[in-house]
Structures are given as structure tokens and as C-alpha cells.
Chain A
């Protein structure tokens, strides 16, 4: 039975298979035509006048993936300038894209500057963005005009920049920097990576390579925004890499790190600079400041306003940490002071920044529930994780819940199970209940679990109340009791923070099937419970 790979011949689910999708190709075409026509009516139209077919794909890609607004794209082609003039007069359009050399110039022009003038006039007259391109470098001719010029052949990125110049508001997303680091030693590669990530504060993607040949392949595939490579490496050394880059006229900056002074190297670097490569030498070992200065010079960017704490944080005594955390707690629960979440998070944060696990968990809670700070699930998950990794059971349970609900992290049940398990192993009751809740009958299948579930339900934990309600309704390992089911489902459906499962619908369904007597009894028990809790 168990020989190797599972044959997934008849999975439970096979798609796509709806009756409509199974229809004949003609029928399918009719339907997708209807949908497309209707959508086209619903969305604003973005009209592009162009003379070159090839570019339409790029425009489509950029506008579909990065534009803030949804458009129906419409391309109108022309091949002669007389057609173009007629089009701009009669047609409203959003963008004109023109390959200078591919148009038939019926208009009387002699040279490229005159073509630029012609387009500048169009731009002045109609005020619509114009992008021109040509295999030659015509930047000079277009310099004085409002027409954007890019030299062909261009990359998607270059075209994106040209579009962005014309539609700054619509294409506002900034792309994270891509930095490639090549070094055959683990120490430097890891520290460089950490420094860069901290400095760019996640606005950078850092790719590291131990194997310089693999790195070279990657460089050929996708040019990065910055390359940091070591000099001496097996097989393909840094010097050879920069020579090759100079040969290929690479446009991105390069930092070459080296631990030996070699005249050979200086000659090579000077040669590369002369051939137009933006290259800088950096002596190893280096300190963080000088390293960042070189990176900054290379990228010609300003350092982020918020200085991240690259310097080591001053040492704080554990007793201070604990007292900060306690102060936070006092404000959080209002013990001896007025309840003040803003004040609480301030103190929690102070202790958390220095690694206090319980404080980190509390900061997470504040972020998750928007207490004294605006709600941010990502931040919440981040702080839970910090504490969870230190072994804090509450944080482990909270992180598990983040994974179940997809709050601040991608939904991942395996991760959730992992964190719940860790917390449950430390005896955390909530985590035990949560683990049980993952199972259909879980929490109901033995006396101990049932006890724990009931405890949590009585304490007001909505998922446990919900499960208990369902258990009583279906008689799952419990004596069927509709009034009891009603009570628990009603309690669960009222919880403001956790709108659990479908408790509201389930409650409605349940009450529609109950007798008047049962309903009254359920209502009575519900009120009894509420009074007891007060």
C-alpha cells in the first residue's frame, strides 16, 4: 500500500469544472465576451495612441499591475503623422507613444530636432503626456521640451520611469532596492547583509552569493541596483567580474572590497572607471560608518531620516527592565494609577526594546487591539514573534492565533500548530484549547479537554464558547441540549473582538429550529450566566 509517491489521480477537488466552463469553446467565447464588454463599460478607459505594436505589452503590464486605478486599456494605432494629427483632433487620449523613426513623416520635417519640435507643439496644444523613443540618443533634441524621451531598446524599468515622469500620482509605488552581495566567506557576507537590511529598513532586497559564478549568472539575468563583491574568490574573482561588467557597460554601481593592496587592482579599477563603470574600492576591514558612506555615495541616496540603532544599545540592568515592565502593567490594568494605554505602551516598549519577553508580548497585544496606539497587525506579529522566540508561552499562543487568522502574517496552519504546541507544552490553557479547536471534535473528545474547554468558555473565551455551543447542538460527545447550545452560541456571537466562525448565522439557524420552551430556557440560562459573570 505504501510504495513511494502518492498517486493523486482522483483528488477530492478537480477544477475548473463548472457547467459553464465545461461548455463548448463557442459558448465560452460568448460568455467571456459579455463579461469583458460589461467590465469595459464599468471602468474608465485609458487610451494610448501608438505607432509601435511591440510596446503595447509593456504598457499593458505596467498599467495592469502597478497603476492605482483600474482601466480598460484601448490602443489606437497610426502609421503616418497625418493620421496622428487627425486622431489627436478627434479622439480624447491619455498617452501618445511614438517611435520617431517608425512613423511616416508626412509633415514637413528635415531632422530630429524638428521632430522634437513637432511633438512639443502637440504637447503644448493638447496637454497630454507624450513619450518618444528612437534607437539614437536624442536626449539633446528633447531636452528643452516637455516630451519624455527614452532611448531604444529600453527595459521595462526604464519605460516605467518614463511613465512615472508623466503619471507621478498613478504610479507611485516605489520598488525596493536590489542589492547583490558576493563573497566566499560567511562572516563578511552575513554582516554586510545585516547592516544593509537594518539601514534600509526593509526597503532593500539583499541577495547573497558564496559562489561567484552563480552570482554572475544572476547579474546577467537581472541587473541589481548595487553590487558589492569581494576581490579574491575561487574561480571567478572580483577583478574579473568588474572587467566583465565594464565590457558590458553595466549601469549600476559596484563596490569592490579588498584586503590586499595591489597595484594590479588599482590599474584595473582605474581602467574600469575610464570605461564608464561606477566603481568604488573599499578596504577590509572597514567600520560601519565608512561602509555606509561608500554605499550612500554609490547609490547617491539620502540616509533614511530615522536613524536605526546600529550602535550597540547601552547595557541596562535586568531590574530596570522588570520595573519598566511592571510600570507598563500598572497603567495597562489601572493598578494604583488611572488606566492609560498610551502610558502603558510607552513603558512596555521601553522594556521590550531591551529584550524583555513579557513586555514584547504586551506591545504586541497593544498593537493587535489598538490600545494606546493605532492598530497594526504586522507590528503585533513582529513583537509576538520576538517574545515567542524567547519562549514566552502567551506570545507563542498569540503568534499561533496570528497565523490562524492571517493577521500580520500569511495564514499558515502548520505554523499555528507549531506555536500553539510550544505554548501548550508549557501548560498554557488557552493554547491547549486553541489546539483542540483546530479539530472538528477537538476539545470535546476526552474529559480533560472538555474540562479545559469549559473553563475557557466560562472565562469568556469566544472560540471555546462557540465550540461548546456547537457540541451541545449536535450532541457531539455531549448530551444534546439546545437551550445550552443557544446560551453558548449567543455568548460567542456577542464577543466584539473575535467574530467567531459563523456564530451569528449559526445562532439564527438554531433559534429558528427551536421550540418556544427551549428558546425561553436558553434565554434564561444566557441571562443567568451574564449576571453571574458580573
Chain B
């Protein structure tokens, strides 16, 4: 608030610790920014791929199930095992429902995904610099209502980060107190620590957190999804080409599966009609 903060006494050790904390925070903010940015890109690629391929994949998966089921059903018929046939029927229904549910779920998740714009990505740096200042897991351990509020706040940040909801991140970063007030949570103090032991502890937890984010970033960068994402960044439009090629292959597979399914259906029909004496 005030431009000239009088410094009465600063021990060199305290000053050093402050700088270490500032350094750790800057690093954490850097890492968080990278992670959010890259994760958003990866998720966007996944979602785009899903939108491209969903129709054909779902059709193919359904046909695979049908073929599998008809084969089982036919086997049971030939053996004369009506129990097993009934069971195959049930299993088929279950698998179908589950598969449809899976695709619905993915579709809902993919619809929510929107890649961050260049401006939003640029803004992340600034937001995370503010957000990491809120990071203070052990400051409220002795005050249950404040602790609860802190947990709710971190949960909100996490959720916003997960779905790339930059508006909420901005709302929290710009005015954490206001945000918490609007949610009706307890008031938390995020001022800077003045005590050496507190600073040390904060530095320790920051370091731990840095290790966690570094590891997550590493895992992200090793994932196949990231590889795909990179491929797209090198060659824009590559995804469309690949998806088109895949669709072609899937179409061929679907034709083949339809043939199999029809063949099995006619065999089942034959098995069901009692042979003429």
C-alpha cells in the first residue's frame, strides 16, 4: 500500500531466507505456468482427436461387441446350453451400456475443453505469480475454520486449473479475500511472514511442491499425448490428416466387422430353427 516501508531492523539471515522464499516462489510460479499451459494444450489435442474419431470408434467398438456376443451366443446354442446363452445376452447389454456411458462421459469432458488463447497463456505467468503466494499449507493448522477455508480455496484453484478455467483463476489471483468473502468462507491472512522459522518452513514446503510439479511436468512430457501435441505444433493440420487416414482404416474395419456380424446372425438363425426331420 504505502510506497515507503521503513525498515527498522533486518537480520542478514532473515533477508537471505526471504530471498530464498521469493526465488522458490518464482520457480514454482514458472513451473505452474508451464504445467497449466502444456496441460491445456495436451487436453485440447486429446479433445480434438476425440471429436474427430468418436463416431467411427464408437461404431467399431459396438460392432466388436456384437461379433463377440454373437459368437458366444452361437457357441452356447450349439452346445444347447440355454443358461449360457441367456448370460451372454445379459453381458452384451451391460457391455453396450457401459461403452455408451464411456463415450458420453468423454464427449462431455471434450466439450468443456477449450485451448487457452495466446493472451490467456501470457496472462498465466502473472496469475501464477500471485497464486503461489497463497500457498501456505501449514499456516492455518491450529484454526479449524480457517483450515477448512484454505482447503476450499486450494480445491477451487485446482478445479479451475483442471478445466482451464482462467476466469476463476484470475478472480482468485486478483482478489483472494474478495473471492473467499463471496463464497462465505472464513477470512484468511496471506501477508508475508516475518519470522525466520516460519519462513524456513515455508521454504521447505515450497521446495517439496516444486519437486511435485517438476515430476508432474516430466510425466506429462513423457506421455504419448504430449508427443502427439508436439507433432501438431510442428506440423499444424497433421492431426486432421492422421484422423482422416484413421477414419479410412476404421471404415474398412467396420465393413469387415459388419460382414462377420451378418454371417454370425445367419448362423444363429440356422441354429435356432430346428433342422427339418
On whether the beta carbons of A39 and B204 are closer than 8 Å, the reply is: no
A458 lies within 8 A of chain B by Cβ: no
On whether the beta carbons of B23 and A414 are closer than 8 Å, the reply is: yes
On whether the beta carbons of B26 and A35 are closer than 8 Å, the reply is: no
Interfacial chain A residues near B98, Cβ < 8 Å: 26
Q: A505 and B106 in contact (CB under 8 A), knowing A9-B137, A14-B158?
A: no
On whether the beta carbons of A19 and B246 are closer than 8 Å, the reply is: no
Partner of A439, one of B22, B106, B125, B141: B22
Q: A6 and B137 in contact (CB under 8 A), knowing A38-B243, A413-B24?
A: yes
Partner of A435, one of B19, B109, B161: B19
Interfacial chain A residues near B225, Cβ < 8 Å: 35
Interfacial chain A residues near B166, Cβ < 8 Å: none
Shortest distance in angstroms between B169's beta carbon and chain A's nearest beta carbon? 12
A489 lies within 8 A of chain B by Cβ: no
The listed residue with most B CB atoms (<10 A of its CB), out of A420, A440, A506, is A440
Q: Mask for A227-266, Cβ within 8 A of B = 1, else 0? A: 0000000000000000000000000000000000000000
Shortest distance in angstroms between A507's beta carbon and chain B's nearest beta carbon? 10
Q: A38 and B162 in contact (CB under 8 A), knowing A12-B132, A19-B109, A26-B102?
A: no
* Stretch in B42-50, B80-88, B269-277 touching the partner: B42-50
On whether the beta carbons of B158 and A17 are closer than 8 Å, the reply is: yes
Partner of B208, one of A8, A42, A450: A8
Interface residues in B92-131 by Cβ distance below 8 A to A read: 98-99, 101-103, 105-106, 109-110, 112-113, 118-119, 122-123, 125-126, 129-131
On whether the beta carbons of A12 and B106 are closer than 8 Å, the reply is: no
Interfacial chain B residues near A27, Cβ < 8 Å: 102-103, 105-106
A90 lies within 8 A of chain B by Cβ: no
Q: How far is the CA of A15 from the CA of B209 in the complex (A)?
A: 12
Closest to B200 in A: A2
Q: How far is the CA of A70 from the CA of B230 in the complex (A)?
A: 13
B77 lies within 8 A of chain A by Cβ: no
Q: How far is the CA of A1 from the CA of B113 in the complex (A)?
A: 41
Interface SS of chain B: helix, strand, loop or mixed? helix
On whether the beta carbons of A501 and B125 are closer than 8 Å, the reply is: yes
Closest to A32 in B: B224
Closest to A37 in B: B246
Q: Mask for B26-56, Cβ within 8 A of A = 1, else 0? A: 1100101000000100010011011001000
Q: How far is the CA of A414 from the CA of B25 in the complex (A)?
A: 11
On whether the beta carbons of B49 and A502 are closer than 8 Å, the reply is: no
Q: How far is the CA of A356 from the CA of B109 in the complex (A)?
A: 62
Interfacial chain B residues near A19, Cβ < 8 Å: 109, 112-113, 162-163
Closest to A2 in B: B197
Q: How far is the CA of A478 from the CA of B2 in the complex (A)?
A: 9
A509 lies within 8 A of chain B by Cβ: yes
On whether the beta carbons of B135 and A12 are closer than 8 Å, the reply is: yes
Interfacial chain B residues near A70, Cβ < 8 Å: 227
A416 lies within 8 A of chain B by Cβ: yes
Interfacial chain B residues near A416, Cβ < 8 Å: 23
Q: How far is the CA of A99 from the CA of B173 in the complex (A)?
A: 62
On whether the beta carbons of B43 and A18 are closer than 8 Å, the reply is: yes
Shortest distance in angstroms between B186's beta carbon and chain A's nearest beta carbon? 15
Partner of A6, one of B22, B57, B133, B138: B138
Interfacial chain B residues near A505, Cβ < 8 Å: 118-119, 122
Interfacial chain A residues near B154, Cβ < 8 Å: 10-12
Q: A12 and B157 in contact (CB under 8 A), knowing A30-B103, A31-B50, A31-B106?
A: yes
On whether the beta carbons of B26 and A7 are closer than 8 Å, the reply is: no
Q: How far is the CA of A438 from the CA of B99 in the complex (A)?
A: 51
On whether the beta carbons of B205 and A6 are closer than 8 Å, the reply is: yes
Interfacial chain A residues near B161, Cβ < 8 Å: 13
* Stretch in B3-11, B66-74, B175-183, B260-268 touching the partner: B3-11
On whether the beta carbons of B5 and A11 are closer than 8 Å, the reply is: no
B228 lies within 8 A of chain A by Cβ: yes
Interfacial chain B residues near A442, Cβ < 8 Å: 22
Q: How far is the CA of A34 from the CA of B55 in the complex (A)?
A: 12
Q: A12 and B131 in contact (CB under 8 A), knowing A39-B224, A41-B245?
A: yes
Q: What is the number of residues of chain B that contact chain A, defined by CB distance less than 8 Å? A: 84
On whether the beta carbons of A411 and B27 are closer than 8 Å, the reply is: yes
Q: How far is the CA of A123 from the CA of B249 in the complex (A)?
A: 33
Q: How far is the CA of A416 from the CA of B19 in the complex (A)?
A: 10
B78 lies within 8 A of chain A by Cβ: no
Shortest distance in angstroms between B231's beta carbon and chain A's nearest beta carbon? 6
On whether the beta carbons of B151 and A10 are closer than 8 Å, the reply is: yes
Interfacial chain A residues near B24, Cβ < 8 Å: 413-414
A447 lies within 8 A of chain B by Cβ: yes
A445 lies within 8 A of chain B by Cβ: yes
Closest to B217 in A: A15
On whether the beta carbons of A35 and B49 are closer than 8 Å, the reply is: yes
On whether the beta carbons of B137 and A34 are closer than 8 Å, the reply is: no
Interfacial chain B residues near A34, Cβ < 8 Å: 49-50, 53, 57
Partner of A438, one of B19, B53, B102, B122: B19
A314 lies within 8 A of chain B by Cβ: no
A23 lies within 8 A of chain B by Cβ: yes
Interfacial chain A residues near B23, Cβ < 8 Å: 413-414, 416-417, 438
On whether the beta carbons of B43 and A20 are closer than 8 Å, the reply is: yes
Q: A41 and B246 in contact (CB under 8 A), knowing A13-B212, A27-B103?
A: yes
Interfacial chain A residues near B57, Cβ < 8 Å: 30, 33-34
Interfacial chain A residues near B155, Cβ < 8 Å: 10
Closest to A425 in B: B12
Q: How far is the CA of A513 from the CA of B175 in the complex (A)?
A: 21
On whether the beta carbons of B141 and A1 are closer than 8 Å, the reply is: yes
B252 lies within 8 A of chain A by Cβ: no
Closest to A440 in B: B129
On whether the beta carbons of B141 and A13 are closer than 8 Å, the reply is: no
What 8 additional pairs, Cβ within 8 angstroms, besides A13-B216, A421-B16? A6-B201, A10-B150, A11-B208, A12-B131, A12-B132, A31-B106, A38-B228, A509-B123
Residue contacts A-B, CB under 8 angstroms, 27 given: A1-B138, A2-B198, A7-B141, A8-B205, A11-B137, A11-B209, A12-B132, A14-B158, A15-B216, A16-B216, A19-B113, A20-B110, A23-B105, A23-B109, A26-B102, A27-B102, A38-B242, A38-B243, A42-B238, A411-B27, A417-B16, A445-B5, A446-B7, A447-B3, A478-B3, A502-B126, A509-B123
The 4 lowest CB-CB distance pairs between A and B, nearest first, are: A505-B122, A413-B23, A27-B102, A26-B102
Chain A residues engaging chain B, CB cutoff 8 angstroms: 1-2, 6-20, 23-24, 26-27, 30-39, 41-42, 70, 411, 413-414, 416-417, 420-421, 435, 438-440, 442, 445-447, 450, 477-478, 501-502, 505-506, 508-509
